[in-house]
Amino acid sequence: MLFATIIMAVTMVALNGCSKDEDSGKIKETGTIYVENLTSDPYNVNINNGESVFNLQSGYYRTLSDCQVGYYKIVVKQLSGYILYPTEKTYTGTLTKGGTLTVSIR
């Protein structure tokens, strides 16, 4: 009984291994998003309404790899250094397979 269970487990692993090998040859439909802060103030960056949210200090950049291809809406909002109200900007673009979508906060 134990021997039959072991043979069945090995067979299942072997069968699953074949399908994974076939999938590993596919090219991923991803690209890179690059966000750089060229201002003297920190900004909050919000990609696709909360899909990715982070703060970016002055003079810094962030690279997001393996992002799904498609349309992106990136909203940035100044965190400090403003007098009356923070600067808020919206950037949009389409990320292509193997491409880079670059946002430069100015």
Query: What confidence category does residue 11 fall into, taking pLDDT thresholds of 50, 70 and 90?
Result: very low
The 10s digit of each residue's pLDDT in 13-59 is 444 434 334 455 566 799 999 999 999 999 999 999 999 999 999 99
More confident residue, 64 or 15: 64
The predicted model gives 74-80 an average pLDDT of: 98
* φ, ψ at 24 (rounded to 5°): -70, -20
Residue 17 has a pLDDT of: 38
Q: How many CA atoms, within 13 angstroms, populate the side-chain half-sphere of residue 21?
A: 6
pLDDT band at 5 (very low <50, low <70, confident <90, very high): very low
- Residue 96's H or E segment, with its range, is none
Q: CA distances (Å), 44 to each of 69, 79, 96, 101, in order?
A: 23, 6, 25, 18
pTM of structure: 0.74
**43-47 and 70-78 strand pairing:** antiparallel
| Mean pLDDT rounded to a whole number for the chain | 84
Tell me which residue has tokens 């193997």.
98
Pick the more confident residue, 64 or 26. Answer: 64
